[in-house]
């Protein structure tokens, strides 16, 4: 599954565990919202955040980006347009393979609980309706190849990252994302600090069909421009949306 990234060059990452800005209407200036964080996220605060963003900007596409299957439910799948699931190349095994197997095993085992489908508990009917319910979720799943480059961030701690990749390794991860894993998104994550254009340039070399996102420390239009000029399809802005709405508006290209 992929969304149409043409026309999306500014993404806002809204953390359900952080207070929202007083004037939430500023969110309408972005092109797409990702709801997710690295600490303190729950199903309940995810739904609340998706609903508040939808009230402020009804036409904005919203991705839920969980770091645990416990954030995903029938209600969140229903509320979000997509469920973006990170696979962290420089993370530990849990964050490239194990969490995903666990999540999809849960979907297969309990599709009714997860997806809210009314599934009779008998024979072949379970199998066929269960597959339909799973297909509903699969329609919304968006796999993201990730590199987490700020080893001091909560995102690094959550995904078991203890070493940033070199630019060559970032390029290799991007190439693998497009030509081997076939994920629709590659995400260079510098969460909390500005990483500059180098990794984006390295990744962009190998990406033709994969959307290239950069997030981390963006606080100005100049930084947005630098990252987009380096080859990113979109920048992702997080902290400054929560902390300083005026500065946030200055990151819009």
Query: Residue 231 half-sphere exposure, CB side, CA atoms within 13 Å?
Result: 20
Residue 69 makes contact with ligand 1GP by CB under 6 A: no
34 vs 204, beta carbon nearer ligand 1GP: 34
Residue 245 makes contact with ligand 1GP by CB under 6 A: no
In the list 43, 144, 178, 189, the residue contacting ligand 1GP (rule: CB under 6 A) is: 189
In degrees, rounded to 5, the angle at the alpha carbon of residue 23 between the alpha carbons of residues 21 and 26 is 95
The stretch among 46-54, 95-103, 169-177, 232-240 that binds ligand 1GP (CB under 6 A) is 232-240
202 vs 218, beta carbon nearer ligand 1GP: 218
Residue 236 makes contact with ligand 1GP by CB under 6 A: yes
30 vs 191, beta carbon nearer ligand 1GP: 191
Residue 239 makes contact with ligand 1GP by CB under 6 A: yes
Rounded distance between C-alpha atoms, residue 160 and residue 145, angstroms: 15
**Residue 88: phi, psi to the nearest 5?**
-95, 110
Give the H/E segment covering residue 214. Answer: strand 211-215
Rounded distance between C-alpha atoms, residue 243 and residue 224, angstroms: 18
In the list 16, 21, 184, 216, the residue contacting ligand 1GP (rule: CB under 6 A) is: 216
Rounded distance between C-alpha atoms, residue 30 and residue 6, angstroms: 14
Rounded distance between C-alpha atoms, residue 31 and residue 252, angstroms: 9
What residue ranges bind ligand 1GP (CB under 6 A)? 13, 155, 189, 191-192, 215-218, 236-239
């Amino acid at each position: 599954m992929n969304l149409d990234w043409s026309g999306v060059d500014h993404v806002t990452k809204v953390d359900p565990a952080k207070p929202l800005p007083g004037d939430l209407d500023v969110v309408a200036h972005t092109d797409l919202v990702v709801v997710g964080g690295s600490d303190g996220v729950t199903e309940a605060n995810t739904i609340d955040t998706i609903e508040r963003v939808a009230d402020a900007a009804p036409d904005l596409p919203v991705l839920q980006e969980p770091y645990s299957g416990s954030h995903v439910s029938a209600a969140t799948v229903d509320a979000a347009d997509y469920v973006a699931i990170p696979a962290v190349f420089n993370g530990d095994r849990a964050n490239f393979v194990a969490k995903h197997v666990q999540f999809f095993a849960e979907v297969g085992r309990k599709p009714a609980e997860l997806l809210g489908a009314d599934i009779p508990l008998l024979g072949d009917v379970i199998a066929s309706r269960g597959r339909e319910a799973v297909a509903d979720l699969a329609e919304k799943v968006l796999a993201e190849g990730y590199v987490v480059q700020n080893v001091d961030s909560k995102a690094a701690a959550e995904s078991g990252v203890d070493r940033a990749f070199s630019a060559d390794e970032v390029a290799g991860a991007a190439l693998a994302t497009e030509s081997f894993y076939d994920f629709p998104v590659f995400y260079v994550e510098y969460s909390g600090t500005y990483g500059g254009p180098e990794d984006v340039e390295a990744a962009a070399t190998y990406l033709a069909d994969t959307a290239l996102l950069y997030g981390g420390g963006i606080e100005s239009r100049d930084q947005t421009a630098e990252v987009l000029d380096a080859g990113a399809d979109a920048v992702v802005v997080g902290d400054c949306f929560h902390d300083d709405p005026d500065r946030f508006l200055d990151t819009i290209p």
